[in-house]
Amino acid sequence: MPGILSAGLTAVDNLCAGLIANGPAIIQSGINIILQLLNGLISAAPTILTTGIQLVIMLIQGLIGAIPQLIQAVPQLISAIVTTIMSVNWLQLGIDIVKRYWLWNY
């Protein structure tokens, strides 16, 4: 067991020494990666913007095209809402709420 612990400590020590020795190069590489990413985004900005506008236009066209189906679905929607409301036993729900409130507070 002492050998494993010693090897682990040596590995951590070597890792720390390597990070310290190469810190400036690691930082510079990180900066280069960020700059390349930003340059790529900037150069692609017109394409990204054009594609976004096209997507919004297609979404609006789809919604406008779906208006007749949406209007046809309104009676079904109202019927489902009414059926759901009527299926609830409101008296029992009120009693249950009062009981739970009473039990939690007293």
| Confidence at residue 102, expressed as pLDDT on a 0 to 100 scale | 83
pTM for the predicted model, two decimal places: 0.45
Across the range 14-35, mean pLDDT stands at 91
Give the CA angle between residues 81, 62, 64 to the nearest 5°. 70
Retrieve residue 62's tokens: 């789809």
Angle between helices 67-86 and 23-65 (to 10 degrees): 90
Return the amino acid letter for 25.
A
CA atoms within 13 A on the CB side of 81: 6
- Phi, psi (degrees; rounded to nearest 5) at 86: -75, -20
CA distance 8 to 14: 10
pLDDT digits (tens, 9 = 90+) for 37-96: 999 999 999 999 999 999 999 999 999 999 999 999 999 999 999 999 999 999 999 999
